[in-house]
Amino acid sequence: MNDADLAPDPLLEPVLQGQRRSLARAITLVESTRPDHRRRATALLEALRGHGRESLRIGLSGTPGVGKSTFIEAFGLMLTGQGLRVAVLAVDPSSTRSGGSILGDKTRMERLSRDPLAFIRPSPSLSHLGGVSRRTREAVALCEAAGFDVVLIETVGVGQSETMVAEMCDLFTLLMAPAGGDELQGVKRGIMEIADLILVNKADGDLKPAASRTVADYAGALRLLRKRAQDPEGFPKALPVSALAEEGLAGAWADMQQLAEWRRAEGHWAKRRAAQATHWFEEEVRSGLLAQLTDNPRARGEMAALAAQVSEGQQSPDAAAALMLAYLRGESLDSPPQRA
Amino acid sequence: MNDADLAPDPLLEPVLQGQRRSLARAITLVESTRPDHRRRATALLEALRGHGRESLRIGLSGTPGVGKSTFIEAFGLMLTGQGLRVAVLAVDPSSTRSGGSILGDKTRMERLSRDPLAFIRPSPSLSHLGGVSRRTREAVALCEAAGFDVVLIETVGVGQSETMVAEMCDLFTLLMAPAGGDELQGVKRGIMEIADLILVNKADGDLKPAASRTVADYAGALRLLRKRAQDPEGFPKALPVSALAEEGLAGAWADMQQLAEWRRAEGHWAKRRAAQATHWFEEEVRSGLLAQLTDNPRARGEMAALAAQVSEGQQSPDAAAALMLAYLRGESLDSPPQRA
C-alpha cells in the first residue's frame, strides 16, 4: 500500500455527487487493465460501497432491428420527464465478431444523451474486451453510487450475454418485434425463462394487428412456463409498445414498478441481490484460478508445448494434464504469491 | 512409485487379448475414485497406449422413446453377424435427475448382450457420478485396446451430453422419431451441427409415410447448414430406418463406412482425433485447477465462509474472490505440492 492508497480518490466525492463527467472517468478507470489503474479502481469501488444507494437495475435484451435504441430513448426520456435520473450501459460481448457496430454510439440516442438527468455509456472499444461481466458490474456499482434511480443494462440477443446481464439485474425485459406465429419457436427457451416482461415493439400503424397477435402468442407461451416464486400474479407478462409513437411505455414502467415493489415487500429483491453477489464471487474465483493458464507467458508456453505433444500422440491428455498441474504447483513455489 | 507399479498390471494381457470379463473389471477400475485404484488405472492406461488399435467410435444420441435400445440391438447384431466385434458404452449425465432409468440395463438388449462378439457396459451407478467424460474416454480407450472394431457411445438427448460425446467420437449419429413438421423446430441447432447422420427410426407400418416426410424435412434442414470441410458430397445425411423391421441398417452402416473412409483418406480422421485429444487435455487442466475449490475440505470451508460474507454484504464479490485466491496460493505454499 502506498501513499496514494491512503488519500481518498479524487473521483470519490464527485461520483457520490452524481457528476457525470467524473462517473464517466471512473468507468474508464474500471475498464482499464493496467495494474495501477486496477488497484485504484478496486480501492475506489471499496470506498464507494455501503452508501446504501440502490438503483432499479433493468436488463434489456433484443436482437438488432427490434428498435432497442428508439425504445431506450423514448423510455428514458419518459423517466427523466418524471425527474428520475437514468443511466444506460451497453454490454456487447459479440462485438469482436460484429465489429461493435450494434452498440456503442451515443448519437443513436441523441435526445436522451443531451438530457442532464441521463447518462449514456457506450460499450467499450474492442481493445478492452475480456472481463466483460466484471467491468459491467463495476460500472453498474458506480452508477448506483452516483445516485441514479434507474440503470438500464442493454444487451444484444446473442450467446450468453442475456444470462450474464440477468445475473446483474433486478428485472429483465425482452424487446421483440411483431412476427408470424412460426417465428415464436425461434425464441430461445432460456430467454423466456429469465424474462420478467416481454415488450412487443412497433405496435403502431400497419404492424399493430401483428403486434397484438405476437403479444397473445408470447402471453400463451409464458403461461406454459412454470410459475416462479419471485413473481406476483400476472407475471411474467407480455405487452405491446410503440417506441416510435411513444405508446405503452407508461404501462410498461408501471408494471416494472409493481413487480419491483412486490419483490421488495416479499423479500425476493434482497435475496436475489445476495444470490447474484455470491454467483459473481464464485465466478471471479473460478476465472482467477483459470487465469493462471493465460496470464503468465511461461505457463502459456508450457501449456502449448504439452498440447502439441498430446496432439502428436506423444502424451495422453490425462498424463499431460497431470504434468501441467504439477508445473503450475511448482510455479507458485518458485515465485512468491501476490497477495491481494 | 512402489513395487506394484513396476510389475505389469494383471489386467494388461487379458484386456489386450480382448477378454470381456477383464475388460469389464478394467472399466470398473477406471470408474473408481479411490486414490489407489486411480493410480493403478492411470498406469494400466499408459501401458495400453500405443498398441496402434483404432476402433470406429460412433456416437449415438436420441431422446427417450425413439427406440435407441432396439436400434442398438439390431444394428449391433448386424455387425457381429459380419464378424465384427462391437462394444456399447452408455453415457447418462442426466441420471442424477432421471434416476438412471433411461440407460444402464443390460436386459434391454438381451440378444446382443449374449453375443460373444459384443460387449455392453451399462452406465455407472449414481454413486460414481462426476468426471463422466474422463471415465467414458478411458472406457473407450480400454475397448479400443481390447480390439473392438466398433465402439458405440450412446447418450440421451439432454443437456451437454451430445457435445461431450461428439468430442470423443469419429462419427456422430442422431436417432429421431417420425414427427410432424412443427416438431422439427424442437431439434436443438447445436445437435444438427454435430450430427453426421440423422436416422429417422420407426419407418415401418403406419409410421412409414410420416418417417419419409421427416427424413425430407431433416434433409432440407441439413442442406441449410454450412458445408463442413470434414464432409464428402452428400453429408451430413438423413435416412429412414426401422430397428424393429431391421430395415435400412445396412444402408446406414454403408454410409458410416463411406464417411469414415473418406475422412481417413483426406486426413480429417487423424486431425479430428488430435484436436479431440488436445480438447480433453485442456479440459482436464481446467477441471484440475477448479478441483482445488472442492477437493480440499479446508478450501471448501473458506469458500463457504467468504460466500456467506458476500451474501450478507460484508464483502464485495471481487474483494472476497481476491481473498480466496490469496488463500489458495497460501495453501500451496504451506503443504508441499503433489507431483504427478
B251-272 confidence digits (pLDDT tens) = 999 999 999 999 999 999 999 9
Residue B323: list chain A partners with CB under 8 A: 340
Evaluate whether B154 touches B68 at the Cβ level (below 8 Å).
yes
Q: How far is A317 from chain B (nearest CA, A)?
A: 4
Evaluate whether A200 touches A238 at the Cβ level (below 8 Å).
yes
State whether the Cα torsion A117-A122-A128-A130 is positive or negative.
positive
Please, what's the b/e burial string for A242-273 (b: 16 or more CB within 10 A of its CB; e: otherwise)? Answer: bbeebebbeebbebbeebbebbeeeebbeebb
Per-residue pLDDT of B167-181, as tens digits, reads 999 999 999 888 754
| Interchain proximity B293–A274, CB inside 8 Å | no
* B264-to-A123, A247, A312, B283 alpha-carbon distances in Å: 46, 62, 16, 26
User: What is the separation, in whole angstroms, between the first and last Cα of chain A?
Assistant: 11
Per-residue pLDDT of B94-106, as tens digits, reads 544 343 344 445 5
Q: How far is A141 from chain B (nearest CA, A)?
A: 11
Choose the closest CB to A340 out of B290, B326, B338.
B326
| Interchain proximity A310–B278, CB inside 8 Å | yes
Angle between helix B35-48 and helix A317-334 axes, rounded to 10 deg: 120
Instruction: Name residue B57's beta-bridge partners.
Output: B151
CA-based nearest residue in chain B for residue A283: B321
Residue B328: list chain A partners with CB under 8 A: 289
| Interchain proximity B285–A324, CB inside 8 Å | yes
Q: How far is A286 from chain B (nearest CA, A)?
A: 7
CA-based nearest residue in chain A for residue B181: A182
Count of CB contacts below 8 A, A vs B? 154
pLDDT of residue A94: 53
Q: Determine the residue type at B338.
A: Q
- At residue B271, φ and ψ (nearest 5 deg) are -65, -40
pLDDT of residue B1: 47
* DSSP state, residue B147: T
Residue B307: list chain A partners with CB under 8 A: 278, 281-282
For A334, counting Cβ atoms within 10 Å of its Cβ (0-12 exposed, 13-18 middle, 19+ buried), the class is: exposed
Q: The C-alpha cell of A186 is what? A: 425461434
Q: Which of B278, B287, B290, B306 to mutate to test the interface with A (most CBs of A within 10 A)?
A: B278
* DSSP state, residue B291: T
| Interchain proximity B325–A42, CB inside 8 Å | no
Choose the closest CB to A317 out of B284, B317, B323.
B284
User: What is the separation, in whole angstroms, between the first and last Cα of chain B?
Assistant: 11
CA–CA separation, A333 and B334 (whole Å): 10
Choose the closest CB to B317 out of A277, A312, A339.
A277
Residue that wins the pLDDT comparison between B109 and B117 = B117
State whether the Cα torsion A95-A101-A102-A106 is positive or negative.
positive
pLDDT of residue B226: 64
pLDDT of residue A158: 58
What count of Cα atoms within 13 Å lies in the side-chain half-sphere of residue B33?
Answer: 9
CA-based nearest residue in chain B for residue A327: B339
Please report where in the chains the cell 469389464 appears, as a residue. B24
What chain B holds in terms of domains, given with CATH numbers, is 51-266 (3.40.50.300)
CA–CA separation, B210 and B195 (whole Å): 21
Assess whether pLDDT exceeds 80 at residue B158: no
Locate the DSSP E strands across chain A. Answer: 56-61, 86-91, 118-121, 150-155, 171-176, 197-200, 237-240
| Interchain proximity B337–A330, CB inside 8 Å | yes
Evaluate whether A136 touches A153 at the Cβ level (below 8 Å).
yes
pLDDT of residue A333: 42
Please, what's the b/e burial string for A163-201 (b: 16 or more CB within 10 A of its CB; e: otherwise)? Answer: ebbbbbbbbbbbbbbbbeeeebeebeeebbebbbbbbbb
Evaluate whether A124 touches A90 at the Cβ level (below 8 Å).
no
Residue B290: list chain A partners with CB under 8 A: 286, 289-290
pLDDT of residue B141: 94
Q: The C-alpha cell of B301 is what? A: 470451508
CA-based nearest residue in chain A for residue B294: A286
Choose the closest CB to B324 out of A277, A285, A329.
A285
Per-residue pLDDT of B121-136, as tens digits, reads 877 654 444 577 888 9
Q: The C-alpha cell of A124 is what? A: 467499450
Residue that wins the pLDDT comparison between B61 and A188 = B61
Q: Which of B40, B158, B272, B284 to mutate to test the interface with A (most CBs of A within 10 A)?
A: B284
Q: For residue B249, what pLDDT band results from cuts at 50, 70 and 90?
A: very high
Residue B59: in which H helix or E strand, if any?
strand B56-62
Q: Which of B168, B282, B293 to mutate to test the interface with A (most CBs of A within 10 A)?
A: B282
* DSSP state, residue B326: H
What count of Cα atoms within 13 Å lies in the side-chain half-sphere of residue A102?
Answer: 22
Assess whether pLDDT exceeds 50 at residue B240: yes
At residue B279, the 3 state secondary structure works out as helix
Q: Determine the residue type at A70.
A: T
Evaluate whether B333 touches A295 at the Cβ level (below 8 Å).
no
Q: Which long-range contacts (CB under 8 A, 24 or more apart) does B263-268 make?
A: B263/B170, B263/B230, B266/B230, B268/B229, B268/B230
Which of A284, A118, A320 has the alpha carbon at shortest distance from B321?
A284
* B58-to-A135, A254, A311, B73, B234 alpha-carbon distances in Å: 43, 55, 21, 15, 19
Question: Which parts of chain A register pLDDT below 70?
Answer: 1-6, 92-107, 124-130, 157-159, 180-190, 225-226, 331-340
Evaluate whether A44 touches A12 at the Cβ level (below 8 Å).
yes
* A338-to-A14, A228, A332, B293, B337 alpha-carbon distances in Å: 32, 44, 10, 19, 18
Per-residue pLDDT of A47-68, as tens digits, reads 998 777 899 999 999 877 888 9
**Contact partners, residue A247, CB within 8 Å, separation at least 6:** A203, A204, A241
Q: Which of A184, A272, A281, A282 to mutate to test the interface with B (most CBs of B within 10 A)?
A: A281
Q: How far is A205 from chain B (nearest CA, A)?
A: 31
pLDDT of residue A198: 93
Q: How far is A333 from chain B (nearest CA, A)?
A: 6
pLDDT, averaged across chain B: 85
Residue B286: list chain A partners with CB under 8 A: 290, 293
Mean pLDDT of B287-309: 93
Highest mean pLDDT out of A125-134, B31-40, B188-197:
B31-40
pLDDT of residue A99: 38
Assess whether pLDDT exceeds 70 at residue B62: yes
CA–CA separation, B46 and A3 (whole Å): 56
Which of A52, A8, A49 has the alpha carbon at shortest distance from A142?
A49
Residue A329: list chain B partners with CB under 8 A: 332, 337-339
